[in-house]
Structure 1
Amino acid sequence: MLVLLPPSETKSPDGDGAPLDLAALSTPELTPVRERLVGAVVRLAADPPAARAALGLSPAQDVEVARNAALCTSPTKPAIERYTGVLYDALGIRTLTRAQRARADRRLAVGSALLGLVRAGDAIPAYRLSAGSALPGLPTLRALWRPVLGPVLAASGELVVDLRSGAYQALAPVPGAVTVDVLSERPDGSRTVVSHANKAHKGRVARLLATTTAEPDSAVRLRALLRRAGLHVEHDGGTALTLVLPPA
C-alpha cells in the first residue's frame, strides 16, 4: 500500500542531515526534472522581488526566499519530519513505535511541487514552492511533472491511497487510486467540507494506514479497515471513499 500525502506550505526549518543529494532520493526517474526545478528555484531566489511574485509571498516572508537560495547547502531531515501543520500534527510521526515507523517509512510518500514525490525517509531541506506556482521561463509544473511522475505512480504495483489535495493530484493523477473525502454532517443532515477538519482527519487516516499490520488491496477492504477503527466511511462502489464526521 502506498499512501500519498499532500505537502504543507509550512516546513520545519531545522535539520542535521547532509545537504540535498538529488541522486540519493527515491524514484530516480524524477531526477532530471528535480535538477531543473531546483536550479530554477535557486536562481529565482537571487532576485527577491521576482521570487515573491512567482511564489505569492510578501516581503515579510523573505525568509522563504532565503531558504530557496540555500536549497543546495542547507541541512536536510527526513521528508515526513520536514512537513508540518494540521495533517502532520494528526499523523504524529514522532510518536510511533520503531516497528510502526518502519511501516510508515515504507508506505508514506509526499507529493512535492519541487521534487515530484518524496518517500518518508528521503532527506530534504526546507523550501517554498507550491503546485500553483509559475517559475519564469519554465512550463507549468503540471506540464513538467505529469509525463514523468504519472507513469511512476501508475506502475507502483500496489494499492494507492491518494490523500493529496486537488492541486497536487492534478500534477500527476493516479488511475484507480482510492481517494478519501472528508465531510462534516450538520444537525439537519446536510454535509459540508471543513478545511481544518479535512486535514486533521486525513492525518488520522494516514496514521492508521501507516501503522496497521493489514494490507488492504481494494477500496472495499480499505473501507472495512477504516470502519473497524470506528470511522463512518461510505463507499459508492467506485474508488472514492467518504469519511463522514457526525454533528458536533
Structure 2
Amino acid sequence: MIILFAPSEGKRKGGECPPLQHDSFLFPQMYQKRMEIVAQYEAVIAEGEQEKLCELFGVKDPKEYERYRLPFLKAPTMRAIERYDGVAYDYLDFPSLSSDAQSYIERHVILFSNLFGPIGAGDCIPDYKVKQGSKIGSCVPEKEYKKDFSSVLDEKIAGEEILDLRAGFYDKFYTPASRVTTLKFLKEGKVVSHWAKAYRGIVLREAASARIKGIDGLLAMNIEGLVLEKIIETKTKKEIVYNVC
C-alpha cells in the first residue's frame, strides 16, 4: 500500500547527509523539474527583498529567514520524515519507532513538500521554508507539481491501496487516479480540524508499527483513543470515520 502524508511548515535545523544531488529524491528522472522551482526559490532569497521573503516564508521578522540563505548545493540534508517538525510529526515520533517500523515508513510513505513536491519519506532534503499556498517567484508550486508529476505518481501507485492522510490543501498537488481511503475524526459529533494532524500522526505510527499491508489491516487495529464510528463509501473514496474518546 501507499500512504500519502502532508509536510509541516516547521523544520528541524542541520543535517548530516550530503547536499542535494540527482538521486536525492523519489523519481530521479524528474530532478530537473524540481530544480527549476528550487532555482526560483533561491533567486527570491538572493534578491533579498524583505516583503517577498516575509511572504514566501510566512514570517514578520527578517532575522527569522537568515538560516535559509545557505545555497542548497552546500546545505546539509536529513531524511524528510525527520526534517519536518509539527503536530503530526510529534505524534508520529519517528525516532522512537523500531527499525522495522521506520523502514516501513520509508518504503510506503510519500510526502508532499511545498518546495520539492512529492518525495519519499526517506529522501534527504535541506532546511527550507515555504508558507503553504505561497508563490515561489512566478511559480505556483502546487499547480506545477500536479501538472508535471501526476503521471509518474499514477504509475508508481497503480495497483496499490492508497491511504490518504494529507490535509485537504495537498489535494492540489495530486489527485490519485484510483480509489483512496481517507480518515475523518469526530469529537462530540463535531469534526476535529487542527488536532486532526495529531490523529493522522498517531494512525501513521500505529500502521507502521503493525506494518499493515492494506486497509483491512488498518480497520483491524485497535488504536488507543479512537473508536470506529462508520465507513462511508463512494466510487472514488472510502472514508473511515473515527470518534475521538
* Pairwise TM-score range, normalised by the shorter structure: 0.7 to 0.9
Following superposition, the deviation at residue 104 of structure 1 comes to 1.8
Tell me if 1:19 matches 2:19. Answer: yes
Counterpart in 1 of 2:44? 44
Secondary structure at 2:4 match in 1: strand
Q: How far off is 1:129 after superposition?
A: 1.4
Residue 237 of structure 1: how far off its partner (Å): 2.2
Instruction: Figure out how many residues of one structure are paired with residues of the other and give that number.
Output: 235
Whether 1:191 aligns to 2:184 is: no
Letter paired with 2:185: V
Deviation of 1:89 after TM superposition, in Å, equals 1.1
- Quote the residue 1:245 is aligned against: 244
After superposition, give the CA deviation of every residue in 1:81-122 in whole Å (9 maximum; x if it has no partner): 100111111111111112222212111221112111121211
Deviations 1:113-159 (A, max 9, x none): 21111212111111011340112333x22321112222233221311
Kindly indicate whether the alpha-carbon contact (under 8 Å) linking 1:114 and 1:129 is maintained by their aligned counterparts in 2: yes
The answer to whether the 8 Å contact 1:131/1:171 transfers is no
User: Does the CA contact (< 8 Å) of 2:56 and 2:131 recur in 1?
Assistant: no
Question: Quick check: 1:211 aligned with 2:214?
Answer: no
For 2:232 and 2:169, the matched residues in 1 are separated by 24
From 173, 178, 183, the equivalent of 2:181 is 178
**Are the counterparts in 2 of residues 45 and 65 from structure 1 also a CA contact under 8 Å?**
no
Report how far residue 222 of structure 1 moved: 5.1
Report the CA distance shift for 1:103/1:81 in structure 2 as closer, same or farther (over 3 A). same
How many angstroms apart in 2 are the aligned matches of 1:192 and 1:214? Answer: 26
5 Å matches for 1:1-248? 1-46=1-46, 47-49=48-50, 50-60=52-62, 62-64=63-65, 66-138=67-139, 140-155=140-155, 156-157=157-158, 158-175=160-177, 176-185=179-188, 190-195=189-194, 197-216=195-214, 218=215, 221=216, 224-226=219-221, 228-229=222-223, 231-233=226-228, 234-238=230-234, 239-246=238-245
Conservation of the 8 A alpha-carbon contact between 1:113 and 1:131: yes
SS at match of 2:137: coil
Residue 232 of structure 1 aligns to a residue in which SS?
Answer: strand
Structure 1 contact 76–126 (Cα < 8 Å) conserved: yes
Q: 1:71 to 1:184 in 2, by over 3 A?
A: farther
Across the aligned residues of Structure 1 and Structure 2, the Cα RMSD in angstroms comes to 2.0
Cα distance in structure 2, aligned partners of 1:45 and 1:118? 23
Q: Deviations over 1:183-219 (max 9, x none)?
A: 222xxxx313241x21111100011222323311x5x
Please give the TM-score of this superposition, normalised by the length of structure 2. 0.87
Distance across 1 between alignment mates of 2:193 and 2:71: 36
Unaligned runs of 5+ in 2: none
CA distance in 1, matches of 2:57, 2:78: 23
Q: Which runs of 5+ in 1 are unaligned?
A: none
SS of residue in 2 equivalent to 1:34: helix
Task: Provide the C-alpha distance between the structure 1 equivalents of 2:149 and 2:208, rounded to a whole number of angstroms.
Answer: 22
